[in-house]
Amino acid sequence: MCKWKANEYRFGTWSTGKENSTLYTILFSTSVKFLELISVSTGNYSTSYNIDVNAQNAKKIYQRVCQGAIDDINSTSVAVYFRCLPELDSRDSWYQRMAIYAEFEEKNEVHFKFLESEPNPYVNVTYERNSTATGTVVFSNRALEKFKTFLFLDNHLTLNLNDVVRFITYRFTQDISPEKTNDEFGFLESIPFQEPLEGEKVTIYCDALGRNPPPVRVERDGMPISDTSDVYIASSRSTLWSISYVTYLHASKEIEGNYTCVTDDKSREVFPLYSIELKPKVRWDLNNLMYAGNVSDEGKYLVLEGSEGLDVSCSTFDNDTVVVFDKVQRTNLTKWTERLEVWIPGPSQEFEPYSMWHISCTATDKNGENTFELYL
């Protein structure tokens, strides 16, 4: 069995070749509500399908095909379009968006930014909704001077179907830099990472954009990562993109470390991504949700999630008085994690007679600890 087939089966997916098509089978848990499939083709085009896995009509077929291209480009502006078969109808639910990839501040760090239609001194964006989706961007001289050697346009067309396939997004990327240097590239800015819990699936992305960028890979603490039964590594390259990612099927203490994106060539350029550390996390969203139904001066819910041995202790910030919880409830989430809910009683007059009560808390489990502050 070839390697990619082995990885497919290991991650609950597989494909079967048909006469004029390919059948993809994907297994997922019952908690999954939506699924996104991305098809990448030559010429830096991609198509993504957002699927409602609970939809009833699972055999519906969608025939529309769309293709985008640059319509016109000059020293200060660029026009792009999408043409579809069957043709678009302006009365239907679809929209076009454009974005740029550019080096804003740090050299070799590429930032992504959607272009808004509101007037501003740097770019002017207009869209036309007809049988063809057309977008035009006019750049100011100041913007062109800032981005003249590294400016890539990203064009999106999204069709809202509200059916089994909720929406389809067609996308293509084009180098529109006024001045081009061969083999110039940059790393995409790293997005702040949400710390995972034990057992969760974790994916670390490494992306480079430019003109024939070199191969890249993800490293942990300066060392290559091995492809094992619980680790999946994949890479791809085009004339504009070089992408690699590592997926840990089940997060554990062993995945902790500092992650970097590294070019796999003689130059070995290193770009920092982020650090991963397993520790309990505060569910601020659930705190607010539970508090909304229990609005009171008497106290507040605190919701935490973590691994085996999850516990929390709190004390007043000024005088280290230990906070005694009125209610404690534990719930098993997975075979690795649990949820802890505690009710923190409100301040009495002897602690804080005037303003909000300021307390410091430390949550611990077998993997680590998380210290944070609360106001009641």
- Alpha-carbon distance of 346 to 337, in angstroms, equals 29
**Residue ranges of domains in the chain, CATH in brackets:** 33-174 (2.60.40), 185-276 (2.60.40.10), 281-375 (2.60.40.10)
Q: Which residues of 285-296 are buried (b: 16+ CB within 10 A; e: fewer)?
A: ebbeebeeeeee
Q: How far is CA 328 from the centre of its chain?
A: 34
CA dihedral (162, 26, 306, 196) positive or negative: negative
Pairing of strands 185-188, 109-114: parallel
Please give the chain's pLDDT, 376 residues, in tens.
Answer: 344 444 555 556 777 877 777 777 877 766 778 888 888 877 789 999 998 888 876 666 777 899 999 888 888 999 999 999 999 999 999 999 999 999 876 677 999 999 988 878 889 999 999 999 999 999 999 999 989 899 999 999 999 998 888 999 999 999 999 999 999 999 999 877 778 999 999 999 999 999 999 999 999 999 999 988 889 999 999 999 999 999 999 999 999 999 999 999 888 999 999 999 999 999 988 776 555 444 455 678 899 999 989 999 998 877 678 888 888 899 999 999 999 999 888 766 444 444 457 889 999 999 999 999 988 7
